[in-house]
């Protein structure tokens, strides 16, 4: 995985496209779906406007919008491999510079985007439920509505959260 800040991959012009790709590598570039999935699961979506996915060097013609608003696009169509362009996502934040992140492998992976998105959404949902449990756990009260005498330390909560997140794997 490689990250570039404040960079949006461009596209070739029509004339450049007629002349052919700028370079043809010996290695074919495939989308690394396993790394992409792991990255998407751990991403904080609260500050993200949208995410595009496609091939750097020709995003306009090979890319699609993977995430917009607060929803994943399961029907996102994009090219996921090339002999010269690298697969990547472009994250457009609400308050931060744009990031381009490359997910490239030289081996084709047998998977599909709908399956990955479903798994990502499921894991994010479980993480949100765990965080809700942790917040309730930290605000524990007794039957009379008074806070319990036992105060949980941040360390206790961090350990509990780590144990719960381990269950997600």
Provide the 10 A C-beta neighbour count for residue 26.
6
Q: What angle do CA 64, 106, 75 make, to 5 degrees?
A: 20
**Domains of the chain by residue range:** 2-111, 117-168
CB 95 within 8 A of CB 47: yes
CB 164 within 8 A of CB 126: no
Token couple for 44: 């904080």
- pLDDT for the residue numbered 149: 44
- pLDDT for the residue numbered 145: 54
Instruction: Give 128's contacts (C-beta < 8 A, 6+ positions apart).
Output: none
- pLDDT for the residue numbered 19: 67
CA gap 78, 93 in Å, rounded: 21
- pLDDT for the residue numbered 139: 61
CB 21 within 8 A of CB 85: yes
- pLDDT for the residue numbered 116: 87
**Residue-level pLDDT, tens digit, the chain, 169 residues:** 667 665 667 655 555 655 666 666 667 888 998 899 989 988 888 889 999 999 887 788 888 999 998 899 988 889 888 887 889 999 999 998 889 999 988 888 777 788 888 888 888 888 888 777 777 666 655 555 555 544 555 566 677 777 777 766 6
Phi–psi pair at 33, nearest 5 degrees:
-65, -35
- pLDDT for the residue numbered 53: 93
CA gap 81, 77 in Å, rounded: 13
Tell me how far CA of residue 139 lies from CA of 101, 133, 152, 153, 157, in angstroms: 38, 10, 9, 12, 11
CB 102 within 8 A of CB 56: yes
- pLDDT for the residue numbered 66: 93
- pLDDT for the residue numbered 50: 93
Nearest to 9 by CA among 93, 94, 86: 86
CB 83 within 8 A of CB 28: yes
């Amino acid at each position: 995985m490689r990250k570039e800040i404040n960079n949006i991959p461009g596209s070739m012009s029509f004339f450049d496209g007629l002349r052919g790709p700028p370079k043809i590598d010996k290695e074919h570039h495939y989308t690394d779906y396993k790394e992409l999935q792991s990255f998407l699961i751990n991403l904080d979506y609260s500050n993200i406007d949208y995410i595009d996915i496609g091939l750097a060097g020709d995003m306009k013609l090979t890319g699609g919008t993977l995430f917009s608003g607060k929803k994943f696009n399961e029907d996102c169509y994009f090219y996921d491999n090339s002999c010269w362009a690298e697969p990547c996502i472009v994250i457009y934040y609400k308050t931060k510079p744009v990031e381009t992140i490359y997910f490239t492998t030289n081996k084709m992976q047998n998977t599909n985007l709908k399956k990955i998105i479903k798994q990502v959404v499921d894991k994010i949902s479980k993480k949100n439920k765990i965080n809700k449990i942790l917040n309730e756990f930290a605000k524990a009260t007794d039957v009379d509505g008074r806070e319990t005498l036992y105060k949980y330390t941040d360390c206790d909560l961090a350990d509990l959260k780590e144990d719960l997140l381990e269950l997600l794997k």
